[in-house]
Amino acid sequence: MNQTIKKRVRDSTPTSLRNFRRLVIGLINLSRADKHKCNLCGYEGRFWPFGNPPRRGATCGGCGSQERHRLIGLWLAANPELVEGAKILHFAPEATLVHSLSAYSSCYRTADLDPNVADTVLDIEQIDLPSDSVDVVVCSHVLEHVDDAKALREIRRILTRGGRALLMFPIVEGWDRSYENEDITSPADRAKHFGQDDHVRMFGRDVRQRITDASLDLTEFTAEEPDVSQYGLTRGEKVFVAVKP
Ligand SMILES: [Zn+2]
């Protein structure tokens, strides 16, 4: 069959059937769980899809950790001298990281606006803690929900000199500037524009400037090979490590 006829045959398939076929193929691909090792719980085996849209091999079959949790775990393992015995404050605590972080220090505590999920109720835009009182802040996938300028100023204030914040957030590295739009307020529009119904922006590359504007120094810890393949990380994902000089 030549290409022209093939194309005509394909095009004659009803759109609904073609879409259904694509859906089935997509689900079959997703169901092929990838095998990785989890640096947080030690599990080795199948990792499962997670997210909307689903990401293949995202979730550890042992502890349920996702890629970003394992990346923070790798940073912690690479920098134990910075966290052992440190005063650690973990905003919006991810259950899969709590065990790892608490193992590093008895001065570890969690914080959230919801008292049911954390040790302490704290508003990251107005943190009710003394200045210079925390050595390590862990703040993953929080800044895209809040006024990031206020939050970063507050994080800097509570950090001890030389203390650091581990910051993660969704970012579009292809964009020079973060995308904010005050007309986008409904959950449906926020999901469409910012990727989730309670996000208020999508960061671009200028997030680095936004961090240093808060008088924090910045280094980046990037998911690279062979860690990506071994531990099931997102290629190029970063932990932004902001240090109070
Ligand atoms: Zn695990």
Predicted local confidence at residue 5, as pLDDT? 53
CA of 49 to the centre of ligand 1 (A): 14
Q: Of the given ranges (136-140, 191-195, 228-232), which has the lowest mean pLDDT? A: 191-195
Return the CA Rg of the chain.
21
* CA–centroid distance, residue 40 to ligand 1 (Å): 5
CA–centroid distance, residue 242 to ligand 1 (Å): 26
For residue 39, the CA-to-ligand 1 centroid distance in Å is 7
CA 153 – ligand 1 centroid, Å: 33
Q: How many Å lie between the centroid of ligand 1 and the Cα of residue 46?
A: 10
For residue 199, how far is its CA from the centre of ligand 1 (angstroms)? Answer: 27
Helix axes 67-78, 95-104, angle to 10 degrees: 10
Ligand 1 centre distance from Cα of residue 70 (Å): 8
Does the pLDDT value for residue 1 go beyond 80?
no
**How far is Cα 69 from Cα 140, in angstroms, rounded to an integer?**
9
The string over 6-27, giving b where at least 16 C-beta atoms fall within 10 Å of a residue's C-beta and e elsewhere, is: eeeeeeeeeeeeeeeeeeeeee
Structure confidence at residue 14 (pLDDT): 73
Give me ligand 1 centre to Cα 60, in Å. Answer: 5
pLDDT class for 52, splitting at 50, 70, 90? confident
Count of CA atoms in the C-beta half-sphere (13 A) of 46: 7
131 is written with which tokens? Answer: 């200045």
Please tell me the predicted confidence (pLDDT) of residue 128: 97
- The pLDDT tens digits of the residues spanning 189-212 come to 999 999 999 999 999 999 999 999
For residues 143 and 167, give the distance between their C-alpha atoms in angstroms, rounded to a whole number. Answer: 8
pTM of the model: 0.87
Give the distance (Å) from ligand 1 centre to CA of residue 77.
Answer: 15
Å from CA of 156 to ligand 1 middle: 31
For the segment 152-181, the average pLDDT, to the nearest whole number, is 97
pLDDT of residue 11: 60
Length of the chain, in residues:
245
3 band by pLDDT with thresholds 50, 70 and 90:
low
183, amino acid identity: D
**54 pLDDT band (50/70/90 cuts)?**
confident
Q: Whole-angstrom Cα distance, residue 168 to residue 139?
A: 7
Tell me, in angstroms, the distance from the centre of ligand 1 to residue 109's CA.
21
